[in-house]
Amino acid sequence: MVRLTATDLSADRNFTRGTVNMATKGEATKDRLLDIAERHFLHNGFTATSIDDLIKEAGITKGGFFYHFEGKNALAYALMQRYRERDAFLFSGLFKRAEELTDDPLQQMLVFVKLLAEMMANLEGLHPGCLVVSLTYESHQVNEEVRKITADSVMDWRRLFREQLDKINARYTANSETSSDDLADMLSTIIEGGIVVSRALNDPSILVKQLLEYRSYIQLLYADHHK
């Protein structure tokens, strides 16, 4: 067994600390690149955004960019990965708050949509846009991996909303024939469509109103039909 002296341990700690600092700096640069790319993709589109545009704003070299990403498609993939993680955190947090307020699955869904509408109402100005919409519009310009993760993010929403709607359907009978998948996709469509229409008409209230319309629809769909 090799015995470490105090000097050895100190040197080891300094090396570790330096490695951690380098990793932290590298992650910060990567996150900054993702933030810049997201803004450019939403404002200008994937195709119109060049790597030169991104590195100029980030203040790094092309070598610095390619250290983190193999190219624009790899960057878009990483953006969608982060988008999925943030959505999952946001939506699960809202559902958790709803579950803390009531045990009834229908009321939980109504609370969830109300909380989401309030969050959208509290945004400063228009919603910045959605990466799913942006990359879907330019699906012919991205590779298969980006197309797949974009579709997977849509499926994430369907699965999450469907899970709650299945709980509702287990306790309530709907007033008209429908399915959890259809109702889940309706909410996704309202969110994405509400963002697009709000931006097109420069009216952030449209997204909020449409979410509340969905909430009213769900309330009426299951009214007085407790199993």
pLDDT digits (tens, 9 = 90+) for 176-213: 999 999 999 999 999 999 999 999 999 999 999 999 99
Average pLDDT of the chain, as a whole number: 88
Please tell me the predicted confidence (pLDDT) of residue 15.
Answer: 39
Q: Which is it for the CA torsion 7, 13, 17, 22, positive or negative?
A: positive
pLDDT digits (tens, 9 = 90+) for 131-172: 998 999 999 999 999 999 999 999 999 999 999 999 999 999
3-state DSSP percent of the chain in helix, strand and coil, to 5? 80, 0, 20
Provide the residue ranges of all domains of the chain, joining segments of one domain with +.
1-69, 73-227
**164 against 7, higher pLDDT:** 164
CATH topology of domain 73-227: Tetracycline Repressor; domain 2 (1.10.357)
pLDDT digits (tens, 9 = 90+) for 76-110: 999 999 999 999 999 999 999 999 999 999 999 99
Please tell me the predicted confidence (pLDDT) of residue 19.
Answer: 42
Please tell me the predicted confidence (pLDDT) of residue 24.
Answer: 77
| DSSP result, 22-85 | HHHHHHHHHHHHHHHHHHHHHHH-TTT--HHHHHHHHT--HHHHHHH-SSHHHHHHHHHHHHHH
80: amino acid identity, one letter = M
Let me know if 150 is exposed, middle or buried by CB neighbors in 10 A (0-12, 13-18, 19+).
buried
Q: How confident is the model at residue 127 (pLDDT cuts 50, 70, 90)?
A: confident
Share of the chain above pLDDT 70, in %: 88
pLDDT digits (tens, 9 = 90+) for 24-76: 777 888 999 999 999 999 999 999 999 999 999 999 999 999 999 999 999 99
43 CB-near residues (< 8 Å, 6+ apart): 129
Please tell me the predicted confidence (pLDDT) of residue 195.
Answer: 93
- For 4, which DSSP code? P
Q: Which is it for the CA torsion 137, 53, 37, 19, positive or negative?
A: positive
- Kindly report the CATH number that applies to the domain delimited by 1-69: 1.10.10.60
Are 127 and 195 a contacting pair, CB within 8 Å? yes
Please tell me the predicted confidence (pLDDT) of residue 13.
Answer: 46
